[in-house]
Amino acid sequence: MKHLKTVCLCLLSLMVRKACFPSEPLPVQRIIIDTDCAIDDFHSVNFLLSQPAIKVAAIIVSEGTLKPEDGVVKINSLLKEWNIDSIPVICNSSRISYVPSWRKLNQPLKWGRSDNDAKCDDYDQVLKVLFEGTEKRDYSLICLGSLSTAYDLLDNFPQYVSQIKRIVWYAGSIRPIQGFNYDCDSIKANKVLSSNKIRIDIISNLRKETEEFNKKFMEVLNNSDSRLSDIIGRFHQQPGMNKNSRCKNDFMKDELVAVYILNPELFDMNINLSDIRIRFVESYHLPAIMEVITDLVKGTYRFKKNVAFNEFPADRQMYNYDVRQIMDSAIARYGHDEWKACVITDEFHGHLGIFSIVGAKMGIKAREIFNVQPDHLTVVSCAGTIPPYSCLNDGIQVSTGATLGQGTISLANDTLNRPEAIFTYREKSVKIRLKEEYLNIINKDIQEGIIKFGLADDGYWKLVRRSALKYWLEWDRNNIFDITYY
């Protein structure tokens, strides 16, 4: 049973290892929103603005439900509600083929308490700033209306196309592609869809019944107390929202686009075999999507950074009693990344070991030097395959994501084992080695344990555990290593 428990814990650690140590600060996604300012757009834009993990680089207002100049007023009003003045607002003057009948229903609806700012930024200048900065950045273009803006970028700004990693677009139906977002400018939509230049992810509610969704959404909204629920709640309290059934029930359309950006794993996407750049939704997990929206509205949503956990366990009672004693201090001194690395290393390694902890600290230090997330480093370890030095390898694998399974960690060819490794990123390398004074302390403790208890006695492993906890808490990764740059 003990062996089975260890195997299960190892599997769990491998599941969460890859994504639970982000070193790069949020945001993690940069997007440009293109909206025609329909009611479902209002929800979707608010969902995205509420998340610090999403960097909205610009908002483009295109004709659709509203004229673009009228939509600009509503976007400016909404940004004031969020106290945001750093997002440029652009007006796309392209016209669509027909005016929707529901325009007059949406025109009087206010997106915020201030409703008189028609100022917009210069289209060309904003694109130049976004795409021609000193740091080349990629963006997702989120199209909540027609594809006219996407067409304009392809046709008039081809130099920027390579930096648009994908278009995410909502369509009323998939097979065939139909709905207002397509029909209002089908010529440009067809040109974009057939361009074979940009990946396009097409989201749809697949014409599913939305009545139950609408009811649950309003229940959650009325029972929540968050900044997002306050902004959306005021919007829904307007007289115009209650007078017309289309306004009251215009849900589960573009809202799905926001959920897809945040939690793409909830959507089953297929690829168009005739053009593999086009992907379209085949089905989606509605109960899970409703949970996401519920958490967003309540203000309890957590952007997924891990593989299995929504959040890394932070409850003290989930840890053994001796580990609890160092938990708060270790996190305060060295941060959550190192804490997570050391915790998962312990479970993966099978016991709380000294050199495995040193390896975890070493891997975190290497990632800090190169400022990268897991899975970006290749490692050559000098620790060999014989304990105790080889225990270093487990901590390095967990903390860097360089694993035997991925073929990104290997052993040095020499036969002199030592607590040292060479980390490489983009042809630059650094050698990190445990300082001699710290190695001597470890060797002394291990030798005393062997003399006192012998390797087979549980007293030895208790001593190792106590020493490992002591070093975990007291040894600062910024002080314990010799570092050589190549």
Look at residue 171 and tell me if it is in a domain.
yes
Q: Are residues 153 and 254 in the same domain?
A: yes
The whole-angstrom separation of Cα 213 and Cα 233 is 16
Look at residue 303 and tell me if it is in a domain.
no
Strands 481-485 and 428-434: antiparallel
Look at residue 351 and tell me if it is in a domain.
yes
Q: Which of 273, 298, 323 is the last residue of a domain?
A: 298
Q: Are residues 34 and 96 in the same domain?
A: yes
Look at residue 306 and tell me if it is in a domain.
no
Look at residue 17 and tell me if it is in a domain.
yes
Kindly report, residue by residue over 398-447, the tens digit of the pLDDT. Answer: 999 999 999 999 999 988 999 999 999 988 999 999 999 999 999 998 89
Nearest to 202 by CA among 256, 252, 241, 149: 256
Residue 183 has a CB neighbour count (10 Å cut-off) of 17
pTM, 2 dp: 0.68
The whole-angstrom separation of Cα 255 and Cα 295 is 14
pLDDT averaged over the chain? 87
pLDDT at 11: 41
Q: Are residues 478 and 360 in the same domain?
A: yes
pLDDT at 245: 62
Q: Are residues 206 and 350 in the same domain?
A: no
Kindly report, residue by residue over 123-177, the tens digit of the pLDDT. Answer: 999 999 999 977 788 999 999 999 999 999 999 999 999 999 999 999 988 888 9
Q: Are residues 390 and 442 in the same domain?
A: yes
Q: Are residues 409 and 474 in the same domain?
A: yes
Q: Are residues 147 and 183 in the same domain?
A: yes
- Whether 485 and 430 have beta carbons less than 8 Å apart is answered as yes
Of 102-111, 180-189, 241-250, 364-373, the range with the lowest mean pLDDT is 241-250
**Residue 167: which CATH number?**
3.90.245.10
Q: Are residues 383 and 405 in the same domain?
A: yes
Look at residue 308 and tell me if it is in a domain.
no
Of 12-21, 360-369, 381-390, the range with the lowest mean pLDDT is 12-21
Look at residue 343 and tell me if it is in a domain.
yes
Look at residue 404 and tell me if it is in a domain.
yes
Handedness of CA 403, 405, 407, 412 (dihedral sign): positive
Number of domains in the chain: 2
Q: Are residues 347 and 247 in the same domain?
A: no
Q: Which of 274, 298, 322 is the last residue of a domain?
A: 298
**Residue 371: which CATH number?**
3.30.1330.130
Q: Are residues 201 and 328 in the same domain?
A: no
Q: Are residues 34 and 16 in the same domain?
A: no
Q: Are residues 88 and 209 in the same domain?
A: yes
- What does DSSP assign to residue 273? T
pLDDT at 325: 87
> Can you give the residue range of the structural domain that contains 279?
29-298
For 88-131, the DSSP string reads -EEE-----SS--TTHHHHTT--SSS-------B-HHHHHHHHH
Kindly report, residue by residue over 162-204, the tens digit of the pLDDT. Answer: 999 999 999 988 888 999 999 999 999 999 999 988 999 999 9
Q: Which of 239, 274, 298 is the last residue of a domain?
A: 298
pLDDT value at 316 more than 80: yes
